[in-house]
Chains A and B, each alone.
Chain A
Amino acid sequence: MDELDILKRDWKKQEATLPKISYDDIYKMIHKKSSSIVKWILIISIAELLFWTGLNLLIPDSYLEIYEKFNLKTFLLATQFIHYIIVIVFIYFFYKNYKAICVSENTNLLMKKIIKTRKTVNYYVYYNIIVYVLLSIILNIVMFSNPETLIEALNPGNLNIDGDKFLNIMLIVQVVTLIVMLGLLCLYYRIIYGIFLRRLSKNYKELASLEH
């Protein structure tokens, strides 16, 4: 007899030894909460969407006054308007992709859809980082090309300070903040991927490598 037939025969024999869960226990089970990765991805993604959108609202009005001195207020309001439209588009796609996830689909397609949903959120985060960096660069170029206005805006009390030194410090602080923020983001994504998506990506790659 073939070894695999022996295995198959033994596999069938085990049917008799399988546990039998009672009606009541099944009833209890279906009233418990799922802890599937899709659910976790949804929670984390909503938190991220809220975080990045909320970050925008945290900018105090006094900042806008400073920018007004550089005639940048209209520019900023316009970018903010465009930004909110883009946020809505992202949320729409995220919702659409999330809704398309269906557990009774084949394994390959299910994994593809989960990855696609998660990627939508990643693109949203990348978009935010790019906008943040681009805006910082634009604002800095405008402000630093008008150093007198800048010192006046940031030092309304007209304290006696060294202008060049002040501008250098300001630039360094900004660069350091940017690097620290990007570092924290990288760390965050490594953790999220490690926890939720490493196994999924590995399995997905295994299937993909078969198809090519």
Chain B
Amino acid sequence: MNKELEHKFISEFQENQNIVHKVCRIYTSDQESHNDLFQEITIQLWNAYPKFRGDSKLSTWMYRIGLNTAITLYRKSKRSVPTQDFDTVLHKIEATDYDNTEDEQLKLMYKAIHQLSDIDKALIFLYLEDKNYSEISETIGISEVNARVKMNRIKTRLKTILNP
């Protein structure tokens, strides 16, 4: 492999590595899986790098490959905590002692996010990263209308958890 390209990739990647760490935070719940997924995303980015033309921003390209790896390519039995239906999750969380402090609210929201489906996680992640609907729809490959509908459902659910 071209040493120059390698150096360029590592430098650029290093600057933007937060994106990858954040994808790992959404999709994994322990340090070991985090590192594992981080490594796989890094390898995928490196393999795809020679074809990166720069017609989109490097960060946009990294969001895509990061999410694609987490949702589609990555396979580790340890990570496959069974996802549950949102309503089941909601029901369970409502049943726990509810404390209206901000920290508690955050804890509940993160807990709920971790139990979302892979696709819902991608949507909420892009929302937290301040991506607009056109970018979200392009990343996931669904129409903007559908992205909006799905996101509103997730948001309403998250709010309901906090205001039962």
Interface string of B89-113 (1 = CB under 8 A from A): 0000000000000100110010000
Whether A108 lies near B142 (C-beta < 8 A) is yes
B88 at the interface (CB under 8 A from A): no
Question: What separation, in Å, do the CA atoms of A20 and B117 have in the docked complex?
Answer: 28
A30 at the interface (CB under 8 A from B): yes
Q: Is the interface of A mostly helix, strand, loop or mixed?
A: helix
A75 at the interface (CB under 8 A from B): no
Whether B72 lies near A11 (C-beta < 8 A) is no
Interface string of B38-57 (1 = CB under 8 A from A): 11101110111001100000
A114 at the interface (CB under 8 A from B): yes
Most buried by B among A3, A32, A104, A106: A104
Question: What separation, in Å, do the CA atoms of A30 and B71 have in the docked complex?
Answer: 20
Question: What separation, in Å, do the CA atoms of A145 and B6 have in the docked complex?
Answer: 70
A21's contact among B17, B61, B75, B102, by CB below 8 Å, is which?
B17
Q: What bracket does the count of chain A residues touching chain B fall in?
A: 35 or more
Whether B71 lies near A107 (C-beta < 8 A) is yes
B2 at the interface (CB under 8 A from A): no
B141 at the interface (CB under 8 A from A): yes
A34 at the interface (CB under 8 A from B): yes
List residues of A (141-177) whose CB comes within 8 Å of B's CBs.
none
A200 at the interface (CB under 8 A from B): yes
Query: B22 contacts which chain A residues (CB < 8 A)?
Result: 14, 18
Query: B25 contacts which chain A residues (CB < 8 A)?
Result: 14
